[in-house]
Amino acid sequence: MSLFSIYHNPRCSKSRQTLALLQEHGIEPEVILYLEQTPNASALKAVLAKLDIKARALLRKGEGAYKEQGLADTTLTDAHLIKMMCQFPKLIERPIVIKGNKAVLGRPPENVLALIK
């Protein structure tokens, strides 16, 4: 089992670049195709804790579901936003690379170098 995992969307260029960067460093992460294997609320809470960010910071604001579900409303709780990300996984910013208790967003892909050191 790999020490690294990546929430990956193969159709996303940044996600592909981040995976390639890991592989260039000899790392074969566990690949989580989060659009097919949608994380549950507890998994997303754990990811947010490892990223050390609030749920709103993990939202893709350009997705249709963001507008359709009224997620721009800043009074919405983290619990509600997490529920929406579970329901509409396209809302989850990608890629997310996890190593142990730490995680980074691969935007830009070079962010993962902080986990490799």
Please name which of 9, 74, 59, 58 lies closest in space to residue 36, comparing C-alpha atoms. 9
Percent of the chain having pLDDT more than 90?
97
Whether 86 is catalytic is no
User: Which structural domains are found in the chain, ordered by start?
Assistant: 4-116 (3.40.30.10)
Annotated active-site residue in 5, 12, 51, 107: 12
0.85 surpassed by pTM: yes
Tokens of 58: 């993990």
For 65, which DSSP code?
A: H
28-75 per-position pLDDT tens digit: 999 999 999 999 999 999 999 999 999 999 999 999 999 999 999 999
Token pair 């690949």 is at which residue? 31
3-state secondary structure of 102: strand
Please name which of 27, 101, 102, 103 lies closest in space to residue 93, comparing C-alpha atoms. 103
